Amino acid sequence: MKTIDELLEEGVEGKRVFVRADLNVPLDGTTITDDGRIRAVVPTVKALAGAGARVVVASHLGRPKGAPDPAFSLAPAAARLGELLGADVAFATDTVGESATATVAGLGDGRVAVIENLRFNAGETSKDDAERGAFADQLAALADLYVGDGFGAVHRKHASVFDLPARLPHYAGHLIATEVGVLKKLTEDVQRPYAVVLGGSKVSDKLGVIDHLLEKADRILVGGGMVFTFLKAQGHEVGSSLLQEDQIPVVQEYLKRAEASGVEFVLPVDVVVAPAFPDMKTKAPTNPETVAADAMPAGQMGLDIGPATSELYASKLADAATVFWNGPMGVFEHPDYAEGTRAVAQALVDSPAFTVVGGGDSAAAVRTLGFDENAFGHISTGGGASLEYLEGKTLPGLAALEG
């Protein structure tokens, strides 16, 4: 895989460089609530612009249905990118139409433009190779070179991620090079003990990575909504908690495999429960109660790991040499159910291990709860991409850059 460092050595002055970034940030109306993904691409854009390139930044945002939708405009992200760069960033109001063509044509050396949400064109996400390829041809007309730096999208076989690199000389940006280097530390020559913390809502989202990690990890700690499928698999009452009953046989098999292979599978000893899911708009106080994990009342809903579990998990992470964490321990967005996630984050901060926060909600939790990002070894920008890499899958975007 050729990198941006090699590209910069070759020289980019006056060249149009298409940067496939990941500007898929959460929005409250037009207000960005977490700009982590925009900040992550700044080093690549700065390096290219500083070397005299004409930089065309592109990304998706949300899931529009292949047509323009103002709710998913990249305009707020373009404005924030400009603030972070300390320079004006031009914005095209379409992807490959008149505005994009004129905006790119008007770029001077060292200047930056952002084109509108790639998913406003149905060709970006099409499963039809010809339709996707036709859109990639149009995108290719905007540039001379391609730099892939949207790690959060490399697991998608989309036009700008998979097809476009085949049409232009292509390189990995600083972010992707860093992300791949980190993930190799989690899959090749891992420093042990290797502990993995998995959370989030659905166990089905993590089955593939659990299956793979049963051969790699020394300890797997489980929290979040997915844990209740594990507790139910052990025969415990889980009340009205999130539960995927169809996954219980799979979970039971994983628990047996872990025991047989000597992998320590750690589940909560207590949970924080309430009668119903909290109001996430008002964040009004609730009446949470901590109960033993094997004695949940039938009418209660589990919303966080309990304090005894937080202490247990911290102790299981204290002597680890490598830690990968993906998924919050509870409904961290509500103050009554944030302590389990906070405790895991603090345990990673306190640990001398190489610590990796696996993107998505975990990365958002770290920032929401006020932790210094530099206190962690690495915070990934791509939760889904990180998990698929750890599953051993071939990621289309990385394969395209290697081709």
| 15, 20, 37, 316: the active-site residue | 37
* Cβ pair 177, 307 in contact under 8 A: no
| 39, 46, 202, 367: the active-site residue | 202
**Taking Cα atoms as reference points, which of 32, 8, 29, 143 lies closest to residue 81?**
32
Q: What are phi and psi for residue 83, nearest 5 degrees?
A: -60, -45
Question: Does 29 participate in catalysis according to the annotation?
Answer: no
Question: Does 281 participate in catalysis according to the annotation?
Answer: no
In the β-sheet with 354-357, what is the strand arrangement from edge to edge?
Answer: 264-266, 219-222, 194-198, 322-326, 354-357, 378-379
Question: Does 37 participate in catalysis according to the annotation?
Answer: yes
CA distance 278 to 369: 18
Residue 309 burial (CB count, 10 A) = 26
Core vs surface per residue 362-383: b (16+ CB within 10 A) or e? bbbbbebbebeeeebbbbbbbb
Please report how many Cα atoms fall inside a 13 Å half-sphere around the Cα of residue 3, on the Cβ side. 11
CA distance 334 to 74: 28
Question: Does 200 participate in catalysis according to the annotation?
Answer: no
| 306, 360, 382, 383: the active-site residue | 360
Question: Which residues are part of the catalytic machinery?
Answer: 37, 202, 360, 384
